[in-house]
Amino acid sequence: MRIVFKTDYMQDIRPWKDGYQLSLYLILLAVVIAAPWWLDAFYLGELTNVLIWAIAGLGLMILTGHTGQASLGHAAFLAFGCYANVILIEAGVPFLVAFPLAGILTGIAGVTVAIPALRLHGIYLAIFTLALSILMDDLIVLAEPITGGVAGKYMGGVEIFGHLVDRWGTPEQFYWLVLAVTVLATLGYINLLRTPLGRSFIAVRDSEVSAQAMGIDIARTKTVSFALSCAVTGWAGALMGLYAGAFNNETFSVVISIQLLMMIVIGGLGSIHGAFLGAIVIGFLPQFLSIAKEYAGALFGGGTVAIPGLEFGIFGMILIGFILFEPMGIYGRWLKIRTWFELFPFYRKDMFKRQKSYLKTERLR
């Protein structure tokens, strides 16, 4: 059994529990920084894709995981950030200015969406954001002079301090760029949860009536949550555009929004770790299925057969399994396993019994 004795109130709001946990994160950071030296170009590209998905998951986690506002329209903000970044670069704006500006513009767009959505809850908010994601597809086509319409746009490498960073030409440098954004977004998220604003997000998620009784401005909190969520998602969209190279209105379809929501549910709602664990599942699942089909074809004879919808079918089965048997996601299961070892032999199953009751103040939501 390992026990951490707290001697200061500041220990309750530290980003990490103790020096041991900090050392584990630093070792993990060193391993991923050195990834270009122990991974080939293909798997390095897949790891880069996972990190981009993780950034998008962090953006949605702010809104859904910690503020409790369900969204099925974050593909629209991915598209907004992607196109804003490319259009600014084409206008001659340096990447180091265009990239943060694309996130800020996406955050402003999120505020405009939040204003009419403040009175919506649950399934109604999800339908509203879903309609927004579908509408973005048509807006990209209608704004052809700016977005390129159905033909889309092409984005090669970007220059950073006179050095070309390209997805295909210099995959190592592009990976480090994505990793740097991921680390900054994660550190910002960790510190956000330590602030009064971050605690307000959690209070609104748990009970809007109780949060309002404590003096929290519900409308302001939701609006800021939408803004921050969309800004982070916009940065993920900008990196996604650079990763893809070429994109159009079909790149950011409503399926991406559904995948994002399923990703954070499988990873673990309400946890930063859940965004990364879900990104690993959604990033490596297609490659796992491809390798499994090739292995099955070699084992049983015959070539590999393409099965339409196999990836989404398996992903849906995984989601249903987690909802039924582990609602806390992968990270929730890890917490139970870790707690079992830490408290052995005093661990009890009822410590993590699923809560089925709800507040009387929330029955009309």
The residue count of the chain comes to 365
Nearest alpha-carbon partner for 296 in 284, 310, 309, 280: 310
Nearest alpha-carbon partner for 58 in 276, 329, 359: 276
**What's the confidence (pLDDT) of residue 1?**
54
**What's the confidence (pLDDT) of residue 17?**
78
DSSP, residue by residue, 67-113: T----S-HHHHHHHHHHHHHHHHHTT--HHHHHHHHHHHHHHHHHHH
Could you give the residue ranges of the DSSP H alpha helices within the chain? 19-33, 35-38, 41-60, 74-90, 95-117, 122-142, 144-147, 171-194, 196-206, 208-213, 218-244, 254-267, 272-300, 310-325, 329-343
pTM of the predicted model, to two decimals? 0.90
Mention every residue, 6+ apart, whose C-beta is less than 8 A from residue 15: 187, 190, 191, 194
Cα–Cα distance, 85 to 101 (Å, whole number): 8
Are 227 and 111 a contacting pair, CB within 8 Å? yes
Written as tens digits, the pLDDT of the chain (365 aa) is 566 677 777 777 778 877 788 898 999 999 999 999 988 888 898 999 999 999 999 999 999 989 988 888 899 999 999 999 999 998 989 999 999 999 999 999 999 888 888 878 878 888 888 888 888 888 888 888 888 888 888 887 888 887 888 888 888 999 999 999 999 999 999 999 888 999 999 999 888 888 888 889 898 999 999 999 999 999 999 999 999 888 888 888 888 888 898 899 999 888 899 999 999 988 888 787 777 777 776 776 655 566 666 777 887 888 888 888 888 889 988 888 888 887 777 777 666 665 544 455 554 45
Cα–Cα distance, 116 to 25 (Å, whole number): 40
Cα–Cα distance, 262 to 280 (Å, whole number): 12
Residue ranges of the domains in the chain? Answer: 26-254
Cα–Cα distance, 248 to 143 (Å, whole number): 12
